[in-house]
Structure 1
């Protein structure tokens, strides 16, 4: 109550997660949450193929990862954690515009 809710959606990688956590820290007056169904769709699509290796320049922040995955159900949180710990990521582009429209578009 009294809060605007902002839904964050980016790459499923340490840097994307760090960006969301930085936004939450900088703008505490907003409730910033991950786009749960979008990330579930990224996992579903991305895990059907071999996920890409995370670029080495990305910073793996355990605190941010924990903060991010606590928004998800246990199974999805474990999938995300396992993906990231294995040194892989799934870009948001794994979901094409047509898949996004099909899954999340208005009728």
Structure 2
């Protein structure tokens, strides 16, 4: 497992109650570096924000493929299945949500072909 971070300029706390299981269908860009999130582009220090702390089991390191090589970017693939573990509201406009990636209980994406031996 690896902890990665994702910041958004929204309050998503009501959409992520503890115990909820959620599938992220979009590819999601994350980082292993909290200092990257200090940029207003990602999370910043003011305004309404949500910071996801994600325990991932198969995030892809894409540093060598990214235009931003210093951002320690990790890509979560489409169909990432997550469980909401907890929430924290350390400041009036900052919501921290702890997610843990799980193996889904059902197949989310079927391979189009059988594997070739």
TM-score where L is the length of structure 2: 0.27
Larger proportion of strand = 2
TM-score where L is the length of structure 1: 0.28
Larger proportion of helix = 1
Greater relative CO, 1 or 2 (CA 8 Å, sep 6+):
1
User: Is the radius of gyration larger for structure 1 or structure 2?
Assistant: 2
